[in-house]
Amino acid sequence: MSWVTSRARPDIVALEPYRHAAWEPGLARLHANELPWRTPGDDSQDGLNRYPEPQPRALIERLAALYRSPTETLLATRGSDEAIDLLTRAFCRAGEDAVVVCPPTFGMYAAAARIQGARVVGVPLLSERGFALDAHAVLRACGSDVKLVFLCSPNNPTGNLLAAEALIPRAPNLAILRTLSKAHGLAGARLGTLIAEPDIIALLRKVIAPYAITQQTVELVLRVLGSPHLAQVRRRVGEILAERERLRGAIARSPQTIRVLPSEANFFLVRLRDPALALGRAREAGLLVRDVRGLPGLADALRVTVGTPEQNERLLEAWE
């Protein structure tokens, strides 16, 4: 028995997947109950009157090149949020299984588990050690009912990298989630990629909606995701990092600030004497920052995403 068939939900392993209409672009489609004409205003290349190709070949090849991983190890998802949900649904039996999360961390892991009826086991990051992963405690928490361990790096909202390689070398039970939403600037297109061994991909393909990725997203990503785009991503990441350090430095000098945390991401945490006041001041200046005070160990913290230089300047003025 493979690792996947021994750990995934037995009913999903046994599931006969839904058979979508065959994808044969050379033939006229009288098999999918689509309208044969385009709708006026539809300026897509292939026509939105047609269902898109499930797990589009050309898109998967482009993502395989981007992430330097073979096509059979990739699943394209509606953002990595959907990948979190698919993993949880495919591996956790409601009322029986559990997931491990390391708070304070990205909220969707616990949300997906609760929706699926899986128990959430929290193994806190070590706040006194810069929110480092407590790898031994994670391993101790992995009882036989634990099917997934979610590790987030750089961790959201704390911004630090996890030294996760201590815990998980490349392994048959590892799934990596990537997204075009952040550095690639395509959050609205909703495209994530799950990278894992082919038997995990095959399992998740039984669960994912057949037409998860819209034709508009497929066409946009194929048009955009080339070498000029990648050069621009590198430039913009550089700009964001420079702005992040400028903003962190300026906020650190304010008497209102207790501490600005280091960050490896396009956001950072700031601990403030009066976070409620700072939230209000930001809003009055037309700016939203994230209230993370409800998360463990962050009762005095706000999360700031690095904006344009002009927006960052406005935040500094609002917090002066």
Ligand X SMILES: *Cc1c(COP(=O)(O)O)cnc(C)c1O
Site residues (vs ligand X, CB under 6 A): 79-81, 106, 152, 156, 179, 181-182, 187, 192
56 CB contacts (<8 Å, ≥6 apart)?
Answer: 76, 213, 218
Task: Tell me if 49 sits within 8 A of 35, measured CB to CB.
Answer: yes
User: Is the CB of 77 or the CB of 281 nearer to ligand X?
Assistant: 77
User: Is the CB of 218 or the CB of 281 nearer to ligand X?
Assistant: 218
Rounded CA separation 248/138 (Å)? 31
The residue among 34, 27, 71, 79 whose CA lies nearest residue 52 is 34
CB of 79 to ligand X, least distance (A): 3
Torsion region of 295: left, alpha or beta (phi above 0 gives left; psi -120 to 50 gives alpha): beta
CB of 95 to ligand X, least distance (A): 26
User: Is the CB of 73 or the CB of 179 nearer to ligand X?
Assistant: 179
CB of 176 to ligand X, least distance (A): 12
Which SS3 state, helix, strand or coil, does residue 5 take?
helix
CB atoms within 10 A of CB 277: 12
State phi, psi for 263 to the nearest 5 degrees.
-150, 145
User: Is the CB of 244 or the CB of 281 nearer to ligand X?
Assistant: 244
CB of 109 to ligand X, least distance (A): 9
User: Is the CB of 118 or the CB of 177 nearer to ligand X?
Assistant: 177
DSSP state of 180: S
CB of 2 to ligand X, least distance (A): 27
**Cα separations in angstroms, 247 against 5, 241, 302:** 49, 10, 14
**Cα separations in angstroms, 154 against 96, 162, 209, 295:** 30, 7, 29, 17
CB of 94 to ligand X, least distance (A): 23
User: Is the CB of 201 or the CB of 281 nearer to ligand X?
Assistant: 201
